[in-house]
Amino acid sequence: MTLQDLIAFAGRHLMLSLGLAGLTLALIVTEVMRLMQGWKTLKPAQLTGLMNHDNALVIDLRPINDFQAGHIAGSRNVQMSQFDPENKQLAGAKDLPVVLVCKTGQTAGSAAGRLAKAGFGKVYVLDGGIGGWIGADLPLVKGR
Protein backbone atom coordinates (compact mmCIF):
# COMPACT_ATOMS: atom_id res chain seq x y z
CA MET A 1 0.00 0.00 0.00
CA THR A 2 1.38 3.39 -0.95
CA LEU A 3 0.87 6.84 0.50
CA GLN A 4 -1.36 7.69 -2.45
CA ASP A 5 -3.57 4.70 -1.61
CA LEU A 6 -3.88 5.88 2.01
CA ILE A 7 -4.77 9.42 0.92
CA ALA A 8 -7.36 8.06 -1.51
CA PHE A 9 -8.85 5.85 1.24
CA ALA A 10 -9.00 8.84 3.64
CA GLY A 11 -10.77 10.88 0.96
CA ARG A 12 -13.37 8.18 0.35
CA HIS A 13 -13.94 7.53 4.07
CA LEU A 14 -13.70 10.98 5.63
CA MET A 15 -15.69 10.25 8.83
CA LEU A 16 -13.73 7.08 9.51
CA SER A 17 -10.44 8.93 8.98
CA LEU A 18 -11.50 11.82 11.24
CA GLY A 19 -12.57 9.35 13.93
CA LEU A 20 -9.21 7.60 13.79
CA ALA A 21 -7.36 10.93 13.97
CA GLY A 22 -9.50 12.00 16.95
CA LEU A 23 -8.88 8.75 18.85
CA THR A 24 -5.16 8.93 18.16
CA LEU A 25 -5.01 12.52 19.44
CA ALA A 26 -7.00 11.59 22.56
CA LEU A 27 -4.62 8.72 23.34
CA ILE A 28 -1.58 10.96 22.92
CA VAL A 29 -3.02 13.69 25.17
CA THR A 30 -3.98 11.12 27.82
CA GLU A 31 -0.49 9.62 27.86
CA VAL A 32 1.23 13.02 28.04
CA MET A 33 -1.01 14.03 30.95
CA ARG A 34 -0.28 10.73 32.72
CA LEU A 35 3.46 11.30 32.38
CA MET A 36 3.18 14.82 33.77
CA GLN A 37 0.96 14.05 36.77
CA GLY A 38 3.88 13.68 39.20
CA TRP A 39 3.04 10.20 40.48
CA LYS A 40 3.04 6.63 39.25
CA THR A 41 0.93 3.53 39.73
CA LEU A 42 2.26 0.37 41.31
CA LYS A 43 1.18 -3.23 40.98
CA PRO A 44 0.71 -5.07 44.29
CA ALA A 45 3.98 -7.02 43.84
CA GLN A 46 5.86 -3.76 43.30
CA LEU A 47 4.35 -2.38 46.50
CA THR A 48 5.61 -5.34 48.53
CA GLY A 49 9.10 -4.69 47.15
CA LEU A 50 8.94 -1.01 48.12
CA MET A 51 7.73 -1.90 51.60
CA ASN A 52 10.43 -4.52 52.13
CA HIS A 53 13.41 -2.71 50.61
CA ASP A 54 12.71 1.02 50.61
CA ASN A 55 10.74 1.56 53.83
CA ALA A 56 7.71 2.87 51.93
CA LEU A 57 5.01 4.72 53.81
CA VAL A 58 1.62 3.26 52.90
CA ILE A 59 -1.38 5.50 53.53
CA ASP A 60 -4.84 3.95 53.34
CA LEU A 61 -7.46 6.60 52.53
CA ARG A 62 -10.52 4.41 53.05
CA PRO A 63 -13.07 5.00 55.83
CA ILE A 64 -12.02 3.66 59.23
CA ASN A 65 -14.58 0.81 59.16
CA ASP A 66 -13.21 -0.44 55.82
CA PHE A 67 -9.64 -0.08 57.11
CA GLN A 68 -10.42 -2.09 60.25
CA ALA A 69 -12.14 -4.81 58.21
CA GLY A 70 -8.89 -5.43 56.33
CA HIS A 71 -5.83 -3.42 55.35
CA ILE A 72 -2.25 -3.84 54.17
CA ALA A 73 0.08 -4.64 57.07
CA GLY A 74 1.97 -1.55 58.20
CA SER A 75 -0.32 0.91 56.45
CA ARG A 76 -1.65 4.01 58.19
CA ASN A 77 -5.26 5.10 57.93
CA VAL A 78 -5.91 8.74 57.06
CA GLN A 79 -9.40 9.87 56.14
CA MET A 80 -9.49 11.67 52.81
CA SER A 81 -11.29 14.58 54.49
CA GLN A 82 -8.31 14.93 56.85
CA PHE A 83 -5.59 14.31 54.28
CA ASP A 84 -3.10 17.18 54.31
CA PRO A 85 0.26 17.02 52.50
CA GLU A 86 1.60 19.70 54.87
CA ASN A 87 0.92 17.55 57.95
CA LYS A 88 3.90 17.34 60.33
CA GLN A 89 3.76 13.53 60.30
CA LEU A 90 4.27 13.54 56.54
CA ALA A 91 7.06 16.13 56.57
CA GLY A 92 9.67 13.48 57.39
CA ALA A 93 8.46 11.28 54.54
CA LYS A 94 9.22 13.66 51.65
CA ASP A 95 12.25 11.56 50.69
CA LEU A 96 10.58 8.18 51.25
CA PRO A 97 8.33 6.41 48.79
CA VAL A 98 4.73 7.22 49.72
CA VAL A 99 2.05 4.86 48.44
CA LEU A 100 -1.61 5.83 48.60
CA VAL A 101 -4.31 3.18 48.77
CA CYS A 102 -8.07 3.54 48.45
CA LYS A 103 -10.88 1.21 47.45
CA THR A 104 -10.32 1.21 43.67
CA GLY A 105 -7.40 3.56 42.99
CA GLN A 106 -9.46 6.58 41.94
CA THR A 107 -9.53 8.60 45.18
CA ALA A 108 -5.84 7.99 45.79
CA GLY A 109 -4.99 9.68 42.49
CA SER A 110 -6.21 13.08 43.66
CA ALA A 111 -4.34 12.72 46.96
CA ALA A 112 -1.20 11.70 45.04
CA GLY A 113 -1.44 14.84 42.95
CA ARG A 114 -1.58 16.93 46.11
CA LEU A 115 1.52 15.20 47.50
CA ALA A 116 3.43 15.71 44.25
CA LYS A 117 2.55 19.43 44.26
CA ALA A 118 3.73 19.65 47.89
CA GLY A 119 7.21 18.47 46.87
CA PHE A 120 7.09 14.75 47.57
CA GLY A 121 9.43 13.09 45.09
CA LYS A 122 8.35 9.43 45.19
CA VAL A 123 4.56 9.27 45.11
CA TYR A 124 2.68 6.15 44.05
CA VAL A 125 -0.89 4.88 43.88
CA LEU A 126 -1.71 1.19 44.26
CA ASP A 127 -3.16 0.08 40.93
CA GLY A 128 -6.72 -1.10 41.54
CA GLY A 129 -6.64 0.00 45.17
CA ILE A 130 -7.28 -2.53 47.91
CA GLY A 131 -9.30 -4.51 45.37
CA GLY A 132 -6.13 -4.95 43.31
CA TRP A 133 -4.29 -6.13 46.42
CA ILE A 134 -7.01 -8.68 47.19
CA GLY A 135 -7.12 -9.72 43.53
CA ALA A 136 -3.40 -10.49 43.72
CA ASP A 137 -4.24 -12.85 46.61
CA LEU A 138 -2.14 -10.90 49.12
CA PRO A 139 -2.97 -10.88 52.83
CA LEU A 140 -4.85 -8.24 54.78
CA VAL A 141 -4.64 -7.43 58.48
CA LYS A 142 -7.80 -6.80 60.51
CA GLY A 143 -8.23 -4.23 63.27
CA ARG A 144 -6.21 -1.12 63.78
Cα–Cα dist 66/71, whole Å: 8
Q: Which of 47, 72, 78, 102 is catalytic?
A: 102
Amino acid at 71: H
90: annotated active-site residue: no
DSSP conformation class of 71:
B
Report angle CA 73, 112, 79 to the nearest 5 degrees.
Answer: 55
For residue 61, count CB atoms less than 10 angstroms from its CB and return exposed for 0-12, middle for 13-18, buried for 19 or more: buried
Catalytic residues: 102
